Each structure stands twice: as structure tokens, then as C-alpha cells.
Structure 1
Amino acid sequence: MIEVEVKARINSFEEMEKRLKDLGAVKTKDEFQEDIYFQSPIVDFAKTDEALRIRTTNNDTFITYKGPKLNEKAKTRKEVEMSIESASKASDIFTEIGFAPARTVRKSRQYYQYENFEISLDDVEGLPPYMEIEIALSDSDDYTEAQNRIFELFEKLGITDGFERTSYMELLENLNNE
């Protein structure tokens, strides 16, 4: 699967909730997420622009691999995800084979659905408010049109700047390095 995702810093959750409602987006759920990112013993994920994480939510746990970004405009990349039973056991396995925990990112997320877009309002510990809009495509789909549609939706919502291609983990790392 190819995930086409764009995030932007927003002024307030309340303002964006109203704009989403006015647009006709439907709130689908609230969720707390804890993501533990790992560093490979073989490849420097910061240099290759990849990510490996274990995500725990209110109800589920997943391992996710995110490949390198495919272009300069959006955070478009291959994503492979699978459900697992235990975050701690998966973390133990990763650690035993040489992967090291790099950072934990915690966020409260409100999900909205609009047409075939998944929209989330993200309250990430240590960061200002963000909104992400994404579309999932098959590996053979053209992602350029999807990217353009995402930016058009941001514009409909009154957002024309503040876009970010880096992950929340990278944003938090950059804060620590300032």
C-alpha cells in the first residue's frame, strides 16, 4: 500500500473541528496512540528516510514499516502494517536482534472521514496542534493526483501554509536539538 499523507500545523482544534463539520466531514473516533520507533542496527533510518514502529492504540497493536518518501511534495511512501498481540514481546524481539528504541511519541487523535480522505487532528505531547490528511492507494496507483487533491482539501479548510513533511518523531527530535 502507498500512503499519501500531508500534515500542517493548525491554530486550534476547535476552529478546525468547526471547519470540518461545515465541510461535511464526519467524526469517526477518538484514539490515544503510543508509537515506539526503532533504529536499525544495519541502516540509519534517519538517512534512508524509513521508519519502523510499534503502535499501541486504545484497542489494537501494530508493527508498521514505512519506506523512504517517494517525492519532495508530500509524505508519500510505501507502508506495510500488521496487527500483533503484544507490544512488549515485539519490542523484546526487535531489541534481541539489534534494533534499538529511538523515541516514543504519544498523541491523542480525532479521526474524520471526508470522501476518501482520512483526516486527523493530532494533539502530540510536546508539539503544537497538527492536522493530517491522507489517502491510501494501491502500489500501482498514481499518487500525484492524490497529493493534489489533499492540498486542495487543505485549501478548502483555509490552510495554505504550515505544511510539514517530517514525522512527529523528527519534529520532536528537532525540538530537542535546538
Structure 2
Amino acid sequence: MIEVEVKAKIENFQDMEKKLENIGALKSKKEFQEDIYFNSPIVDFANTDEALRIRTTRENESENIFITYKGPKIDSKSKTREEIEIAIEDSEKCSGIFQHLGFSMVRAVRKNRQYYKYENFEISLDDVEGLDPYMEIEIALDDGADYSDAQDKIFELFSKLGVDDGFERTSYLELLEKLY
């Protein structure tokens, strides 16, 4: 799967929620996410622009855990990249396996994420511990699909919502690493 994703800093969540409601975007779910990022013993993911994480999501009483690999970004305007994700049962055991194989834990990133659906876009308002408010808009495409049209439509939607600057290609992990 190719994840076409663009992220931008926003002023605040309340104004953006009103703008999303005005265009007909529908709230779909709200969840807490904890991402534990790892670095490889073979290559430095910071240099190769890859990511490996264990994500735990909590929505009401439900908990889901995933391992996610993100490949290097494939363009200069967005965070478009290959993403491979699988569900697992136990984050601590998985973390233990990674560490026994030489992977090192880098940092935890924690956020509350409110999801919206609009046409074929997934929009999230992200309240990340330690960062300003952000919004991400993404579209998932099949491997090998042309992503440039999807990317243009994402930027058009940002503009429709009054966001024409503040775009960020770096991950929340990288933004936090710069601060601390």
C-alpha cells in the first residue's frame, strides 16, 4: 500500500472542527495512540528515512496493536511512502523480540487523534504530547498507483479548509527529537 499523506500545523482544533463540519466531513472515531519507535542495528532509520514502530490504539474499551514499517518518502512535497502493517497480540513481547534482535527503542510518541471522513480522504486532528495542534489528510493507494493526482487533491482540500502553509514532511517522532 502507498500512503499519500500531508500534515500541517493548525491554529487550534475548535476552529478546524467547525470548518470540517461546514464542508460535510463526518467524525468517525476518536482514539489514543502510543507509538514506540525502534532503530535498526544494521542501518540508521533517521538516515534512510524509514520507520519501524509498534502502535497501540485505544478507543473506549477496545485496544489494538500493530507493527508498522514505513519506507522512505518518495517525493519532496508530502509524506508519501510505502506502508506495511500487521496486527499483533502483545506489544511488550514484540518489543522484547526487537530488542533481542538488536533493535533499539528510540522514543514513544503519544497522541489523541480525532478522525474524520470526507469523500475518499481520511482526516485526523492530532493532539500530540509536546507539540502544537496538527492535522493530517491521507489517501491510501494500491502499490504502484500514481500518487500525484491524490497528492494534488489533498492540497486542494487543505486550501478549502483555509490551510495554505505550515506543511510538515517530518514525522512526529522527528519533530519531538528536535525539541528534546
Instruction: Give the TM-score of the pair, scaled to structure 1.
Output: 0.98
Matches within 5 A, 1:49-128: 49-58=49-58, 59-128=63-132
Task: Report the 3-state secondary structure (helix = DSSP H, G, I; strand = E; otherwise coil) of the residue aligned with 1:159.
Answer: coil
Q: Distance in 2 between matches of 1:97 and 1:141?
A: 34
Task: Report the 3-state secondary structure (helix = DSSP H, G, I; strand = E; otherwise coil) of the residue aligned with 1:57.
Answer: strand
Percent identical: 69
Q: Distance in 2 between matches of 1:168 and 1:62?
A: 18
Moved over 3 A (4+): none
- Structure 1 unmatched ranges of 5 or more: none
> What is the RMSD computed on CA atoms of the aligned residues?
0.4
Alignment partner for residue 172 of structure 1, among 171, 176, 179?
176
- Structure 2 unmatched ranges of 5 or more: none
Q: Distance in 2 between matches of 1:175 and 1:130?
A: 16
Q: Distance in 1 between matches of 2:137 and 2:67?
A: 21
Q: Distance in 1 between matches of 2:144 and 2:24?
A: 30
Instruction: Give the TM-score of the pair, scaled to structure 2.
Output: 0.97
Corresponding residue number in structure 2 for 1:7: 7
Q: How many residues align?
A: 176
Matches within 5 A, 1:153-172: 153-172=157-176
Corresponding residue number in structure 1 for 2:44: 44
